[in-house]
Amino acid sequence: MNDDVSRRLEPFYLEDSKTFDEDYLNGFYSNTTDLALADLRASAAFRCHELFKDEVVKTVRADDVKILDSVYHVDIQDDPVYMMMPVWFFTFKYEDKPYTILVNGQTGKVVGTMPWQKKKIVALAASVFVLALALAVFFFWASMNKFLGFTRFYAAGISIMLTLGSVLFAKGLMGIKRIYKNLKLTQSEAIFKYVKKRQG
């Protein structure tokens, strides 16, 4: 499985790990690593470095934080301990496209997204946008014409609508970007084949 998928399934709480027992595998399949120790060490070191950078950035209270350079050293034992992590796979095809949904068997975290109809999402977004625009135009017109005498109320309404609309629009764009990324991961032919091969 590629590192991006594994990373998205995190966290796994290693403090809850138990000694291996073959009975755990009844009705399931398992994989051991197919990477050399040197590759595993490099991958683990890179992941540790990423986690460290993320934690450093979280401690700085500023809008735009960038780490320009860093030097890191990770000491990884020569005798790695293998652990089995519980991951559930759900694979299916919809309109001739493969979909794979993954679930962290320990936390219940879901990676991937279900198929969705773009036309309905675009129609809903357009409807909300038109409604918000109509309300903003109404508030603007009412404040200019002193409709019902609530000029200040309407001016405040316009400001609130524009501010709230901008925030919701930005959040919506970020949400759509996240959905597209999840959808791309979910529709990965490589992951679909990986799971199908093991499901026999």
- Residue 60, pLDDT score: 83
Residue 66 — very low, low, confident or very high, per pLDDT cuts 50/70/90? confident
- Alpha-carbon distance 161 to 132, whole Å? 8
- Residue 157, pLDDT score: 67
- Alpha-carbon distance 138 to 118, whole Å? 30
pLDDT in tens, 20-61: 888 877 777 676 667 777 887 888 888 888 888 888 888 887
Residue 199 — very low, low, confident or very high, per pLDDT cuts 50/70/90? low
- Residue 14, pLDDT score: 87
- Residue 101, pLDDT score: 84
At residue 104, the 3 state secondary structure works out as strand
End-to-end CA distance of the chain: 17
- Residue 198, pLDDT score: 63
Long-range contacts of 92-99 (CB under 8 A, 24+ apart): 97/187, 98/187, 98/188, 98/189, 98/192, 99/186, 99/187, 99/192
121, 115 in Cβ contact below 8 A? no
- Residue 107, pLDDT score: 92
pLDDT in tens, 139-193: 667 666 666 555 666 666 667 777 777 777 777 777 777 777 777 777 777 777 7
**What average pLDDT does this structure show over 127-149?**
70
- Residue 84, pLDDT score: 82
